[in-house]
Structure 1
Amino acid sequence: MASSNPGRKSTIYDVAKATGSSTATVSMVLNGSWVRYRIKEETANRILESARQLGYNVNMKARGLRLSRSGLVGMVLPHYRNRFFAGLAETFEEQARSRGLCPIVVGTQRDPAVEVSVTETLLSQRVELLFIAGVRNPTPLNTLCSAAGVPSINLDLPGDGAPSVVSDNRKGAQTITDVLIEKLLARGAAPDELVLLGGVADEYATEMRIAGFRDAFEARHMTPAADAIECCGYNAAAAKRVLSIRYEKLGRLPAGLLMNSITAFEGVVQFTSTLSPDAWKTAVVGCFDWDPFAANLPFDVTMLRQDVQAIISEAFKLAENYDPTDQSLILVPTVLGKKFEEAEQTKEFDR
């Protein structure tokens, strides 16, 4: 149904008349914002098809909004600065491509306004699935996805608006704490000198790791020190600062340190690099995260790896059998760094 006047370009008024829609609705469909305003996909498709028949110049963004599969899948995450989030992004891209999909990953710097804006943009581009990683309150993003009919899966931090796949933070923290306690006992040091530094109070992952830390002591009928836990955020500078305060108070490093993240661990490395070798060689250090370079540090380090391969695999399984009413929480076991490295070496040898 081309324009009756070959010399005149079609307008949105022509499209509105042909489809029985308002010009406002036609405008929102053609400029690519119809998902945000909850216009039905059937209506959007009808308008796009009519515009095509009338010869209206539909922009590329609007073309991508047709009901045909886009082949796009998205992930939002805080940043790429540590191995865990970088690993999540890389594994997501790898598994998406293996399924014939095109992955889009966007960092949001933990800014709620940016998280919403990015989610709206990805939905306007017709992503077929969205993974939401490391967002403290993913519910608004889950709600946007639900309104657009797009499955969403929460990773790393859970939410009530969609199924979630997270590391088993509590069991993992108990495991690594128990290893550190055993090392302290073997050295004749008091286990109640073990401290847990880093993380954010009232955040799910931190609270679970604190609970696991306490579980390890309780299982041995022990009690951590009253000041053993200090939530100083996911920040190397803050971890360095609180550790220096403890050093000044004790006149030495605490006998045992468990850092809540790799960024907090960086603060330990920065601080200990200012000390003499004798000051840090006796320290027992653990980290709820993993980096292979830690094996080259001159003090005892135990690291816990979060299994990004399993997290992404479980998330895709949920997506492939998506239930809009599902709010389940899947816990993925963590792996002690040494065991992980041994397993990777075995795989390499088998190849």
Structure 2
Amino acid sequence: MVSHTPAKKSTIYDIAKATGSSTSTVSMVLNGTWTRYRIKEETAARILESARKLGYNVNMKARGLRLSRSGLAGMVLPHYRNRFFAGLAQTFEDQARSRGLCPVVVGTQRDPEVEVSVTETLLSQRVELLFIAGVRNPAPLNALCAAAGVPSINLDLPGDGAPSVVSDNRGGARAITDVLIDKLLARGASPAELVLLGGVMGEYATDMRIAGFRETFETRGIAPAPDAVECCGYNAASARQALAARHDRLGRLPAGLLMNSITAFEGLVQFTSTLSADAWKSAVVGCFDWDPFAAHLPFDVTMLRQDVQAIISEAFALADRHDPANRSVVIVPTAFGQTFEEAEQTKEFDR
């Protein structure tokens, strides 16, 4: 006679007894929090296998309990406010998906405590790699990744705890400074009036750009002004204030301006919008960063574009051949973005 009495469902107590584990350990493995509590992977594997054998209903995919791969790729970056970081995030997402990975991108607002907290959280979710972009001191994050056996790659700003991929800040600054000096000379203006505004002193990217700026003057046998470099940060408000102070001292804009980021460039646009057209058209302007809107501004601007596609591709290549001892720095060349004159020529061609 066949019995129609329902079979007794397995419980976590059955799994605990079968594996010799505590019920709390079994519970943490089954709800996916076992890595947070430093439970060994082999213990988790044994518990999950026992759960399957006993018919315990575990939705492995939904709970993220796969032990071999999580399928997650992580990135931390300061913010999405400029095209460079937004471009890094978008390119990272595209390339991660093309590799069958699910990208997770988190902004940390340059707060070291948030950077550590976010990294710990991503590691607890078993990300398979972590790209660390624009972090001034990535060493603590690299150490956390190394302890977890997860490859980490530093982007934009290098660090001593992992390999890094950065733009050629020094070479790019030399190239754009050369262009701006030539434009000043063509206008009959003194190159000594060229000013570099923005950035943070002591930060790698800013220091390299200052070095490239000064090297260009030295190569040409020209001396920059004593106050030619002003590190007033990256935000638009501080750049606007610094520019307003120089305008007050000179009674006009400096003949040449090289802005150290697109956000500093925004400060320039905000300030010059309060001036007459003749006043702001008199300046030669450059920016170490790129945004297509600048090609449509009604004054002469030269922009340097960082190659986010190459930066992310190089970072994935380093992750693919992960070597815990590797501390190399890959330098990616920059290129000039479209100028106002080129945009006008393109419009004419399109007509």
1:111 aligns with 2:111: yes
1:74 touches 1:131 (CA, 8 Å); kept in 2? yes
> What CA deviation, in whole Å up to 9, does each residue of 1:70-118 have, x standing for no partner?
2221111111111111111111111122222222222222222222222
Distance 2:231 2:23 in 1: 54
Residue 282 of structure 1: CA displacement? 1.1
Q: Which has the larger radius of gyration?
A: 2
Distance 2:32 2:221 in 1: 61
Distance 1:328 1:153 in 2: 10
- Mean Cα displacement is larger for which, 57-66 or 277-286? 57-66
1:74 is paired with a residue whose SS is: strand
TM-score by length of structure 1 reads 0.88
Change (3 A) 1:60 1:78: farther
TM-score by length of structure 2 reads 0.88
How many residues are aligned here? 338
1:208 is paired with a residue whose SS is: helix
1:195 is paired with a residue whose SS is: strand
Distance 1:36 1:220 in 2: 58
Change (3 A) 1:56 1:318: same
> What CA deviation, in whole Å up to 9, does each residue of 1:274-307 have, x standing for no partner?
0001111110111000011111112110000000
Distance 2:24 2:222 in 1: 67
2:60 touches 2:66 (CA, 8 Å); kept in 1? no
Distance 1:338 1:291 in 2: 9
Distance 1:176 1:198 in 2: 15
> What CA deviation, in whole Å up to 9, does each residue of 1:3-37 have, x standing for no partner?
xxx657623x5544433445565455444344345
Where does residue 171 of structure 1 map in the other structure? 171
1:1-351 superposed matches below 5 A: 7=8, 10-11=11-12, 14-21=14-21, 25-26=25-26, 28-54=28-54, 63-338=63-338
1:193 touches 1:255 (CA, 8 Å); kept in 2? yes
Distance 2:238 2:276 in 1: 22
Distance 1:64 1:186 in 2: 63
Residue 323 of structure 1: CA displacement? 0.8
Distance 1:55 1:22 in 2: 19
> What CA deviation, in whole Å up to 9, does each residue of 1:115-158 have, x standing for no partner?
22222222222221111111111122212222222111111111
> What CA deviation, in whole Å up to 9, does each residue of 1:222-260 have, x standing for no partner?
221111111111100110001000000100001111111
Residue 311 of structure 1: CA displacement? 0.3
1:15 touches 1:26 (CA, 8 Å); kept in 2? yes
Distance 1:228 1:237 in 2: 20
Equivalent pairs: percent with the same residue? 81
Distance 2:37 2:163 in 1: 25
1:325 is paired with a residue whose SS is: coil
2:338 is paired with a residue whose SS is: helix
Runs of 4+ in structure 1 deviating by more than 6 angstroms, as ranges, are: 59-62
1:234 is paired with a residue whose SS is: coil
Distance 2:63 2:136 in 1: 34
Change (3 A) 1:82 1:188: same
Q: 1:174 is matched by which residue type in structure 2?
A: R
- Mean Cα displacement is larger for which, 30-39 or 147-156? 30-39
Q: 2:11 is matched by which residue type in structure 1?
A: S
Residue 170 of structure 1: CA displacement? 0.8
Residue 42 of structure 1: CA displacement? 2.3
Residue 208 of structure 1: CA displacement? 0.9
Unmatched 5+ residue regions in structure 1?
1-5, 347-351
Distance 1:260 1:277 in 2: 23
1:65 touches 1:124 (CA, 8 Å); kept in 2? no
